[in-house]
Amino acid sequence: MKAFRASWDTLLGTTVLGGAPLLTWLLISCVSAYICGDFKAVGIAHNALVAVATALTVVAPVVATIAAFRWRKRHRILPLSMLWVELPVGLLCGFAFLVALIVVWGFASIE
């Protein structure tokens, strides 16, 4: 049972640390694309909105990763040293999922 708890804790940590920035980036990208695409104004208001949306898509995943890391540091079963393994593995898995999603989405849109 102890091995199951340890493997589950590692899987949870990897999923949280990889999924938090990915989900944040996808949500902010979709919402900002919807808002900026619907915004019919041109000029400084539209440019400011696009600049804020771009800044959010860069800053928000970093903030989500830091928040997930801090949450994960407090809620864990395994030693803290395993957290330094979970972080790069989770980020790598999240990046691989994003690349796979983009590839599948790209192939689905080919006519």
- Spell out the domain ranges in the chain: 2-108
Which token pair is 50?
Answer: 């696009």
Which stretches in the chain have pLDDT values below 50?
Answer: none
pLDDT of the residue at 69: 93
Cβ within 8 Å of residue 61, ≥6 positions away:
20, 21, 22, 24, 25
pLDDT tens-digit readout, 21-45: 999 998 998 888 887 776 666 677 7
pLDDT of the residue at 38: 65
Which long-range contacts link 76-80 to residues 24+ away (Cβ below 8 Å)? 76/9, 76/13, 77/5, 77/6, 77/9, 78/6, 78/9, 78/10
pLDDT of the residue at 53: 86
CB of 13 within 8 A of CB of 61? no
pLDDT of the residue at 41: 63
pLDDT of the residue at 89: 93
pLDDT of the residue at 65: 93
pLDDT of the residue at 62: 93
Which token pair is 1?
Answer: 């049972």
Which token pair is 2?
Answer: 């102890």
Q: What is the pTM of this model?
A: 0.79
Please name the amino acid found at residue 99: V
56: exposed, middle or buried (Cβ count in 10 Å: 0-12, 13-18, 19+): middle
